[in-house]
Amino acid sequence: MMRIRYIEPNKLKILMMMFFGTGIMGLIMGLQFAPPKMTMILTFMGVINIGLGAFFVFIYLTQTRSEPDKRKKKKKRD
């Protein structure tokens, strides 16, 4: 399994909020306020953004912080 680089939880939370917010806004705009030609595309883009938000939730919940390698750390000598 390919490992994804560790991403700080604060950055992931911001990305999750951004994608979920724009996805919800896209769905509302696409289903309520959009002209008939743009309804399908705005709704589809909203669903894509919600999917990306769910992907970042998955990364947030499954990633583990890697411990630094103790062999590379210099030991203090008193």
Number of structural domains found in the chain: 1
Residue 49 belongs to some domain of the structure: yes
The pLDDT tens digits for 29-51 are 999 999 999 999 999 999 999 99
Residue 71 belongs to some domain of the structure: no
The pLDDT tens digits for 4-30 are 888 999 999 999 999 999 999 999 999
Residue 74 belongs to some domain of the structure: no
Residue 77 belongs to some domain of the structure: no
Q: How far apart are CA 76 and CA 74, in angstroms?
A: 7
Q: How far apart are CA 9 and CA 14, in angstroms?
A: 9
Residue 28 belongs to some domain of the structure: yes
CA-nearest of 65, 63, 68 to 1 is 63
Residue 70 belongs to some domain of the structure: no
**Entry field: residues in the chain:** 78
Structural domain of 25: 9-61
